[in-house]
Chain A
Amino acid sequence: MTQRILDISDLNVRFATEDGEVAAVSDVSLHVNKGECLGIVGESGSGKSQTFMAVMGLLAANGKATGSARFGEIDLLKANEHTLNTVRGNRLAMVFQDPMTALTPHMRVGRQLTEVLERHRGMDTKAARAEAVAMMARVQITEPERRFAMYPHELSGGLRQRIVLAMALLCGPELVIADEPTTALDVTVQALILDLMRELKEKHGTGFVLITHDLGVVAGLADRVAVMYAGRVVENASVAEIFAAPRHPYTKGLLACTPRLTDAPTAVLPTIPGQPPNLQKLPSGCSFHPRCAAVFDRCRAERPALAEGGTLNACFLNHSVAAGGAA
């Protein structure tokens, strides 16, 4: 029986700004099963980060979230700060693109790790130190004893991100939300970190949300993938379906314009014309319609719901086929 560890339902995030409201996240429902990696892909501004900032209670002051996000017995959207603090960094951990957001600049990295263990797991200094060094070794930091005494600025970007990952894993979280964890890293270091996440998932049943704009990164790690566009999930399917049989024109477009190392180079790369919409002035109907090659009248008038049609997707093309029984 698969166990849902995170269940987001009808999440909406709005930001109040001087020139109107920003519809950053609209009607998003997603879940993560135990030991599963959910990939979230989409272009800049599509709402990937804000979806999970809302879940973690980290929205900016001008932001407001509605809906629910069940994590075990807690609804994270309704929980008070005290409850959130006992969950975050403990059962629910986060890793961001810039490791410095998670590290304190003037504190030795070892101390930053032991502090988490002392706070959340009540360990004494000696036991915490041993545990921290062991975790550093587990995320493949060579010479962990020596690195333990270093300051963040003395480490390379890749090592810092491994420290952050070690910190995220210290309390054996059920779920790690990783927002572009490898985007700033070299491919060689990225590959190491993704291997590590895969091992944790497979050996320890850790669940992951992997937010990225890089389809190659989700292909290697995710079990399921949600594609976001203009604040909405437009397709949600198994990783195999997303790559082999995507149904939404936006997903197809994204895949087509990602150059592959294995394809013979062509004269012209396929593109998606135009650019993502302004969230303050969303297009009518399907938000993707100004860029969609398959657009027809209904798309401008009506918004397609996320519904079954080959995959779970938000495109009339697939829904009408399904309704007609021809799928």
Chain B
Amino acid sequence: MSETVLEVKDLKVHYPVRTGGLIVGRYTPLKALDGVSFELKAGETLGVVGESGCGKSTLGRAVLQLLTATGGAVAWLGRTLTALDAKELKAEREHMQIVFQDPLASLDPRMTAGDIIAEPLRNYRPAMSKAEMKSKVKDMMVRVGLHPAMINRYPHEFSGGQCQRIGIARAMILDPKLVVCDEPVSALDVSIRAQVVNLLMELQRAMNLTMIFISHDLSIVRHISHRVMVLYLGKTMEIAPRDALYADPRHPYTQALLSAVPVPDPSVARARPRIPLAGELPSPLNPPSGCVFRTRCPRATAVCAALVPPQEQPGAGHDVWCHHWRETKVAP
């Protein structure tokens, strides 16, 4: 197996939120991300799942230094990104790209498809000739399944799926090494979604990309990821190789998420047991003591309120943060 290229250690993003005191402001930290660690190898895809507000997008942006971390470190090929100045960071960014959720909204409506895709080239290859740029853009368009004849069209003249291909072409044109995909297919229709997932997987293999694939769709994540991380209230609940996570999930939150995924098969959908989650997501301003999941966990006991669960290893590369992980094994 190839070497580790990305190292994320104890990454924290806390936002100060005003919580009272009209004259003398009182601020409480909103812990959007609170101590997340993982490593990725070249060519590896990490799926990141969890409910809305659990910190998925914050994680993706903090890894790419698109927002400033409050604590912890991100190292790319051994260089600590969190310690670089703006100029050094720009140089590193050449190898890191992001694909956003909303295809149309993430493209500038006044630019043509060709100009959008060429933008990173203009930034990072200012010496490149117009003709060479154009031919590179056209090659990229073919690669992502867009007709090069559409190069002068504007975003509103494309469908959602095509806009997402433009976003992917822009992200791939500099031959990046690390790509964060933040819900890249959530806004797409089922048939188009499958096309774009295939495209991402094909590019990932061909370019040996290291990928962070953020999604709330556990079926797509299973399809595309080598490893999967489950987040809740800014903390990692479980991280494991794909097959281990889906076949032998040990965290009650992972189990509940999996049991809630709709299954496109009526007999299975109606027969299988669901693990109901009590109540609602607690406020991240005032997270529960001990295990942050305990207010909704069907297995919570007194120890869960008293102590933060330690990191445990049910298997190789499989980490879980739960006091009761030994008792949570579910029959297949």
Contact = CB atoms under 8 A, between A and B. Distances in A.
A216 interface: yes
Contacts of A101: none
Contacts of B222: 259, 261, 265
Interface string B258-301: 11111111111110001011011100000000000000000000
A248 B45 CA distance: 36
A258 B260 contact: no
Interface in A259-277: 259-262, 265-273, 275-276
A243 interface: yes
A102 B248 CA distance: 41
A43 B52 contact: no
B10 interface: no
Contacts of A275: 159, 161-162, 191-192
A242 to B, nearest CB: 8
Interface string B50-83: 0110000000000000000000000000000000
A215 B190 CA distance: 9
A141 to B, nearest CB: 10
B281 A260 contact: no
A144 B52 CA distance: 23
A40 to B, nearest CB: 14
- Interface residues on chain B, size class: 35 or more
A273 B268 CA distance: 29
B4 interface: no
Interface string A200-223: 000000000000011111011000
Interface in B217-262: 218-220, 222-224, 242, 246, 256-262
Given A257-B191, A259-B222, A265-B222, A191 B263 contact: no
B160 interface: yes
A187 B262 CA distance: 8
Interface string A292-309: 000000000000000000
A191 B269 CA distance: 11
A164 B161 CA distance: 31
Contacts of A267: 201
Contacts, number: 125
A254 interface: yes
A239 interface: yes
Given A254-B190, A269-B223, A271-B195, A190 B260 contact: yes
Contacts of A194: 262
A190 B274 CA distance: 12
A254 B191 contact: yes
- Interface residues on chain A, size class: 35 or more
Given A213-B189, A259-B220, A158 B280 contact: yes
Contacts of B201: 267-268
Interface string B178-194: 00000000000111111
Question: Which of A157, A243, A273 counts the most chain B CB atoms within 10 A?
Answer: A243
B219 A259 contact: yes
Question: Which of A195, A239, A265 counts the most chain B CB atoms within 10 A?
Answer: A265
B281 A261 contact: no
Nearest to B256: A188
A219 B274 CA distance: 15
B194 A220 contact: no
A217 B70 CA distance: 40
A269 B191 contact: no
A265 B223 CA distance: 5
A128 to B, nearest CB: 26
A74 interface: no
Nearest to B158: A275
A243 B219 CA distance: 18
Question: Which of A142, A219, A239 counts the most chain B CB atoms within 10 A?
Answer: A219
A261 B246 contact: yes
A188 B257 contact: yes
Given A188-B277, A265-B222, A220 B262 contact: yes
Question: Which of A157, A194, A255, A269 counts the most chain B CB atoms within 10 A?
Answer: A269
Nearest to A220: B269
A253 B223 contact: no
Contacts of B264: 215-216, 219, 243, 255, 258, 260
A243 B265 contact: yes
Contacts of B324: none
Interface string A238-257: 01100100000000011101
A243 B266 contact: yes
B29 to A, nearest CB: 21
B197 interface: yes
12 contacts: A159-B280, A186-B216, A187-B216, A188-B51, A188-B260, A191-B274, A220-B270, A259-B194, A260-B263, A261-B218, A268-B198, A271-B191
Interface of A: 43-44, 142, 156-159, 186-188, 190-192, 194-195, 213-217, 219-220, 239-240, 243, 253-255, 257-262, 265-273, 275-276
